Structure 1
Amino acid sequence: MGQIIGIDLGTCYSAVASIDETGRPQIVRNGQGQNITASCVDTGTSPITVGEDPYREWGLNPTVAARFKLQMGSTKPFHPEKGDPQFKPSQGSYTPTDLSSIVLSHLKNFTEKNGRNISEAVVTVPANWGNEAREATMSAAKQAGLPVKVIINEPTAAALYYAFKEGLENGNYAVFDLGGGTFDISIVKISGTDVEVLGSSGIQRLGGDDFDKALRHKIREKCKNEHGTEIPEDSDEVTKLEAEGVKKTLSNREEASAKVGRLRIVVTRQEFESLIADKLAQLKMLCEGVMDDLNLKPADLAAPILVGGSTRIPCVRNLVQKVFKKDPIATANVDEVVALGAAIYAARHADKKNLTPLQAEAISKVKIVERTGKFLGTFSMRRNENRGGDRELVNSIIIRKGEKLPAKGSRSFFTAWEGQT
């Protein structure tokens, strides 16, 4: 039988998990023995390389691309966003879908080297993504040769892992998923191994990478103010890796040092928390917003669940505790639980002939109820009587946000002009 896998295709890091012979999810390590793989591509090597080596070159070598997940759904060649290192491929051009397919192909290759061919696969996506980005993810998976039938929202996959593996008490949980580039908050109802999504919210461009950018700016500022050395914003003297190292150190210590040339720049945890205060305020607002939408209070929740590498940051954990008024639940592998849950979901949707008896028994009671994360509809034209009957385009909602999936709806429309084609 082939392998059944789940893939967390992350902005900064990706992970793969498989279902073992007994039906339990386990992380698949890459060729370097690591549990997670940098979502970074160097188009200038032959063959193209993916992972930690390109990541070390990001910002130093223009043939390296990263953070392309944030532009999934765009059919234009990938162009980095403001503040990110430039990307100039050695030849041709690459769309975000192309680059994602290269990462997925790399994950597929080392997974199959570790075992059998892949028979079933699921790839995760942010809960707040629209249809274009979801379809682009499916397209990238197909380009990579992965047998993907369905996708699953990242916080839902994490909730499924906790329900399946951790044996949580029945109740409502807030899945707080903060990774490198995106944020999702989902309220889920867990009953045994049943997971029902009650509501979700999120933002596409908020995560650990934004914290790194803020630190790079602060380090350049300190170079100027404390040492009289001005470093241009596009300079590679303050690298992404240096800033990320400072951030990680500040999760365990009150201060951290960055080396910039011969200079030693010290950043305190208090300074870092001030730098990202506006981002923390956004997180708080989104959490409170989804609770208000569902008419829930913190007392209605069993606990918040932490997902994503950026939830290791102390001020993020403190924020979660203050918003939900309960200590958060977290495993040591907060950046692996999405892939683990996706593997369970892949087994749940697998062809029964691809399951061993123990696998089939393990996932037989798993049930997931998803909901739409956005209002779905189409543009239509109507007359605005307040403007003399002028026609205007409006968004005609067909399926409302929060409807259980699968969902369907219909509305009747007619042409604006007689004989219109």
Structure 2
Amino acid sequence: MTLDSPRREALVMAVFAVVILTMPLWMAPFGASYPDLLQKFAIYGIFAIGFNILFGLTGYLSFGHAAFLGVGSYAAMWSFKALSANVLPAVLGGVLISGLFAALIGYVCLRRSGIYFSILTLALAQMSYNMAYSVLTPITNGETGLKLTQTDARVFDQLAGVVPEAGLPSTSLFGLEMTGYPGFYFCAVALIGAFFVALRIFNSPFGLKLRAIKSNQTRLLYTGFNPKPHLWVAFILSGMYAGLAGALLVVTDPLAGAERMQWTASGEVVLMTILGGAGTLVGPLLGAGLIKYFENIFSSFNAQTLHDAFSFLPDFLENTLVFLISPFVGHGWHLTLGVLFMLVVIFLPGGLMEGIRRLTRLVKARRDRNSDPEGAAVVPPSSVEG
């Protein structure tokens, strides 16, 4: 079903906003309702949505998007240190600086396509990571990273007469500290806004052109259409999304380090997008939520947790199941995630969203059969001779 009418878009946004804002309630049964994890769901959801604009719509696979995540974090942290503890200038600065950096990187990398584009993005991202650790140490503080201190200038706060609090400084939104649930709801509002922009892009002529580029760029070239400007804009938008996610990481945890620019972070967002369903609106969010759930909740399971879960079984069966399952939980959560990813790629190439679509069609077909078990009689039309 296409979501191109204003009424449908409004309905989708209303449902999406309710789902996101009520996450502390419906995530409680899964043990994932605490603010820190909810913040990660929202932040990495934004990261995955932005990556999907490039990869899901155009088919251009970037292995260097973590560079924009790191740039957004550093820009936001310097805003906190030099300008104000207010989160709005930091978020705006992180998005704009990441967009400028993405414009530069995209201008270079988009001269190639396919695997050459992917390798270029990976190489430039690793260069950025190594520079943050060594050459740019006066700006990034090397492996120690940047953090807030009492000696920071915070010019805007001084001009406004804001008295710094004793102890470790914290980020705030007009006096409301961005910790706990206030921090989550700030990230949630940013996620809702990011989803709305992505929805408009998907349903716009610009989004249609990006899909055409993914479908057959050679045919577009034969028609005289130049895809490079559209690809460049998509790359910049994707980088700005990553910058927003990086800025929000600093908003909720005031520390910026070069580790956020590693290739593993770039690979993680690729897994999120493919696992959930590249080219779909909600798929990358599902992938991001699933991976972060595995990383933070599933990884905490241990043998005792399994014993408690299977305690209703006979001892022999209980011990056998714990022996078989224990390698896949706790420190072995990557193994479970790897098996799940393999199953999705093999049986559901369209990701989890394809599985949901198949299940929906199956339920609908079964419901139709139950409503008309004997089947409608088909009467062939009689021919009428003139």
Q: TM-score, normalised by structure 2?
A: 0.29
Which structure carries more helix by proportion?
2
Which structure carries more strand by proportion?
1
Asked which structure has the greater RCO (Cα within 8 Å, sep 6+), the reply is 2
Q: TM-score, normalised by structure 1?
A: 0.27
Please tell me whether Structure 1 or Structure 2 has the larger radius of gyration of its CA atoms: 2
